[in-house]
């Protein structure tokens, strides 16, 4: 019962006030050292920054931190494994549904009396993405192991896959609905059935969108996978969290180093998949396709 003094409400007042009132007696979570000098003012922050960054780089420069059991390389492998599994499950779930919903919406004009099906697809996509936005990752990570899935990798992967679904679903849907109506007309005129139309015309033309969604989902999952460490699920988060446990005076370098690793990994995935997305996008579509939506300026 050590945190009676850490009133969250008054703790939100100005930093100086908090320090004066509760500085020496405030508790830290995870049983870290109780006394924690907190910098006040820009100068204090700058001092700590100047002190922390070289220490983090030193930590990163220690080969043992990379090769030890549970070191960076182990954690990176886990991280990539978790992310790949989650994105794969996400793709298997979201792409067929998204493509089918898009196909139903886009071919609604060809069916008599069923013009409302377009709204169903769009609403599904919107509802799924809104609901998943509201669910904290921490909740799925903690709840799923307690369901029949059980503890271990599968629960973590499923927990992450939930957050891969919305971008994959939305882009699959949009990719099909954005297919040029004339191409679809021509295909229908040539006598293609619904399934043939989807497979031979809509799917290939939707590939740039699918790639964009794949990139977004992957980056998001790689970012989210770092939170798996909260439930001992593996991944690079395991570099950051123990640092907080050690207390920031001793573990600060490890925390910052872990942060750098996680950030660099996310940016690298973004970059690599960005190139991949470009590679699978036919040249005439490159400026206009998926990129136009990301950038609202004309």
Partner 1 sequence: MSPIRGDVGGDIGGGLGGDLGGAAAQGVPGNPWFSWRYVEANADEILRRLLEHVTLTGQAVLIAAAVGVPLAVLAYWVRPATGPILAGAGVLYTIPSLAVFAFVGPLLGIRSVSVLVPLVLYALLMIIRNTLTGLVAVPAEVRDAARGMGYGRLAQLVRIELPLALPGIVTGLRLATVSTVAMTTIGVLVGHGGLGQLILGGFRANFYRAEILTGAVLCVALALALDLLLLAAGWLATPWARRRAA
**Residues near partner 1 (CB under 8 A):** 1-3, 6, 8-9, 11-12, 15, 18, 26-29, 32, 36-39, 45, 48-49, 52, 130, 133-139, 142-143, 145-148, 219, 222-224, 226-227, 230-231, 237, 240-241, 243-244, 248, 252, 255-256, 258-260, 262-263, 266-267, 270, 294-298
CB of 119 to partner 1, least distance (A): 15
CB of 206 to partner 1, least distance (A): 23
Q: Mention every residue, 6+ apart, whose C-beta is less than 8 A from residue 259.
A: 240
User: 39 to each of 105, 127, 251, how far by Cα in Å?
Assistant: 57, 44, 17
Our CB check for partner 1 shows the closer of 26 and 104 to be: 26
Our CB check for partner 1 shows the closer of 144 and 206 to be: 144
Our CB check for partner 1 shows the closer of 52 and 192 to be: 52
Q: How far apart are CA 151 and CA 144, in angstroms?
A: 8
CB 153 within 8 A of CB 79: no
Our CB check for partner 1 shows the closer of 143 and 192 to be: 143
CB of 125 to partner 1, least distance (A): 15
Helix, coil or strand: residue 232: coil
CB of 75 to partner 1, least distance (A): 13
Q: How far apart are CA 168 and CA 216, in angstroms?
A: 8
Please give the structure tokens belonging to residue 21.
């009132």
CB of 170 to partner 1, least distance (A): 14
Our CB check for partner 1 shows the closer of 31 and 70 to be: 31
Q: Mention every residue, 6+ apart, whose C-beta is less than 8 A from residue 180.
A: 205
Give the closest residue to 221 by CA, choosing from 166, 259, 183, 298: 166
């Amino acid at each position: 019962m050590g945190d009676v003094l850490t009133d969250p409400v008054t703790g939100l007042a100005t930093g100086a006030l908090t320090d004066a009132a509760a500085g020496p007696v405030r508790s830290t979570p995870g049983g870290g050292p109780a006394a924690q000098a907190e910098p006040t003012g820009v100068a204090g922050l700058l001092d700590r920054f100047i002190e922390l960054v070289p220490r983090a780089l030193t930590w990163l420069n220690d080969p043992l931190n990379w090769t030890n059991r549970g070191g960076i390389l182990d954690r990176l492998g886990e991280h990539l494994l978790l992310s790949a599994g989650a994105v794969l499950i996400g793709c298997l779930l979201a792409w067929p549904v998204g493509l089918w919903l898009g196909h139903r919406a886009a071919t609604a004009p060809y069916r008599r009396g069923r013009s409302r099906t377009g709204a169903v697809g769009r609403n599904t996509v919107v509802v799924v993405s809104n609901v998943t936005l509201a669910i904290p990752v921490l909740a799925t990570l903690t709840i799923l192991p307690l369901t029949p899935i059980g503890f271990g990798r599968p629960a973590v992967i499923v927990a992450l896959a939930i957050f891969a679904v919305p971008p994959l679903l939305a882009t699959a849907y949009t990719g099909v609905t954005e297919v040029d109506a004339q191409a679809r007309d021509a295909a229908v005129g040539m006598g293609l059935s619904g399934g043939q139309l989807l497979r031979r015309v809509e799917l290939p033309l939707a590939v740039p969108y699918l790639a964009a969604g794949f990139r977004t989902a992957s980056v998001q999952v790689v970012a989210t996978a770092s939170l798996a460490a909260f439930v001992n699920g593996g991944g690079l988060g395991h570099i950051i969290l123990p640092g907080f446990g050690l207390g920031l005076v001793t573990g600060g370098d490890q925390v910052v180093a872990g942060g750098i690793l996680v950030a660099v990994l996310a940016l690298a995935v973004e970059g690599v998949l960005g190139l991949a997305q470009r590679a699978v996008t036919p040249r005439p579509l490159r400026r206009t396709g998926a990129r136009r939506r990301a950038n609202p300026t004309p």
